[in-house]
Amino acid sequence: MISLLIFAVLLSFYFRYNEGDTSVKEAVAAMLLYAVYWVIYVFVPPFAPISSSHLGKLFGMVPLVALGAILFPYFNRHAPLMVTRGLGWLGLAFVSSSLLYSKFVLW
Question: What would the 3-class secondary structure string for 38-93 be?
Answer: HHHHHHCCCCCCCCCHHHHHHHHHHHHHHHHHHHCHHHCCCCCHHHHHHHHHHHHH
pLDDT tens digits, the chain, 107 residues: what are they? 788 899 999 988 888 887 667 788 999 999 999 999 999 988 988 877 777 777 777 888 999 999 999 999 888 889 898 999 999 999 999 999 999 998 888 77
What pLDDT, on a 0 to 100 scale, did the predictor assign at position 93? Answer: 95
What pLDDT, on a 0 to 100 scale, did the predictor assign at position 90? Answer: 97
- Integer Cα distance of 46 and 70 in angstroms: 29
Domain-wise residue ranges, the chain: 2-106
Write down the pTM of the prediction. Answer: 0.86
